[in-house]
Structure 1
Amino acid sequence: MAVNATRIAVAALVLLGAAACGIPVTGVPVPVTVVPPAPVTSTATVAVPAPVYVQPPVSPPPRQTTEAGVVVAYYDAINRRDFATAWSLGGSRVAGSGGYAKYANGFATTAWDTLTVTDVRGGTVYVVLSAAQTDGTTRTFSGTYTVSGGVIVGSRMTRTG
């Protein structure tokens, strides 16, 4: 009985699919034989993949400019933990003293940054930044990044929350 129901269901799906594609359907449906899959008898273990955490992307700028794109790319690199790219986009110029290792380690307690570009005036990109911390808190900053020649050459950020 279950095999007949399966045949009818498959035939109906074939007809619906053909109708959806604009193929004229005439005549009587042809029965289709469906072979059920063989039961699984293996005792193999299955590796469970590591969890993947999906975060919202960095907010796009209010108007697309090269300067805003550099700042967005900078925070995208930080969110991907690609500190070498962030460093080359201007992290080296805004990090202060201490070098690359100190710069990269400075993000150890940052889980995710959400950037909102609020304005762009020439080479100055105005932003609001929410930095979600690994302890569940959020730090909020606002300020500006100065972009020249495709890299960040300066920043003035103030913690607001």
Structure 2
Amino acid sequence: MLTLSTAGALAACAVPNQGTATPAVTVAAPPNTIVIQSPAVAAPPQTVYVAPPTTQTVYPAPAVAVAQTVIAFYDAINRRDFLTAWNLGGQRLAKGGTYASWANGYATTSWVALTVRSTSGNTVYVDLSARQTDGSLRTFSGSYTVSGGAITGASMKRLS
């Protein structure tokens, strides 16, 4: 700690600083902050705020295409466009059943919410929630296999 006598303090006030070093006061910077300071410059330090990193998942083009097929399939079901959904893979998922019986299987489905968790090659891993016309909610988790722009197989497990 620096202590000045009263006479010294009065003398210090009467004499201007001429080339005398001014003590610097350092304040702790907030987290994620870079402080740039030049010791030869008397200006206050510049502060640059660095935003936390953002996470963005970038899928290669084939991964986007296979996921988009499954998304389009459920979009068609939500729009009640069962013919489009049939052509996007419903035909293969019906396992030999007719279009009418497959489409009728969605008669009590109000809407479907799909979450694509990931892709690996031609496999799309999803979570699915299907609201029924009676208000109940059915949830599923599993995967779809896509080839040639259509769903060729599924492995889904009902959770509730």
For the criterion TM > 0.5, the same-fold answer is yes
Counting matched residue pairs gives 101
| Counterpart residue number, 2:152 | 153
Unpaired runs of 5+ in structure 1?
1-60
Which has the higher relative contact order, 1 or 2, with Cα contacts under 8 A spaced 6 or more apart? 1
Alignment partner of 2:124: what SS? strand
> Which has more strand, going by share of residues?
2
Quick one: percent identity of the two aligned structures?
A: 59
Question: Cα deviation per residue 1:18-62 (whole Å; 9 max; x = unaligned)?
Answer: xxxxxxxxxxxxxxxxxxxxxxxxxxxxxxxxxxxxxxxxxxx98
CA-CA distance at 1:95 after TM superposition: 1.3
Residue identity matched to 2:69: V
Task: Establish whether residue 100 from structure 1 lines up as the match of residue 99 from structure 2.
Answer: yes
Cα distance in 2 between the residues matched to 1:65 and 1:114: 18
Tell me the C-alpha RMSD between the 2 structures. Answer: 1.5
| Residues 43-90 of structure 1: CA deviation (Å, up to 9, x unaligned) | xxxxxxxxxxxxxxxxxx984610000000000000000000000001
Equivalent AA in structure 2 for residue 125 of structure 1: V
CA deviations 1:67-118 (Å, max 9, x no partner) are 0000000000000000000000010001123210000000000000000000
More helix per residue: 1
Could you say if the C-alpha distance between residues 108 and 62 of structure 1 is closer, same or farther in structure 2, counting changes exceeding 3 Å?
farther
Identify unmatched segments of 5+ residues in structure 2.
1-56
- SS of 2:125's equivalent in the other structure is strand
* Higher-Rg member (1/2): 2
Using the size of structure 2 for normalisation, the TM-score is 0.61
Q: Which runs of structure 2 are paired with 1:51-90 in the superposition (5 Å)?
A: 63=59, 65-90=64-89
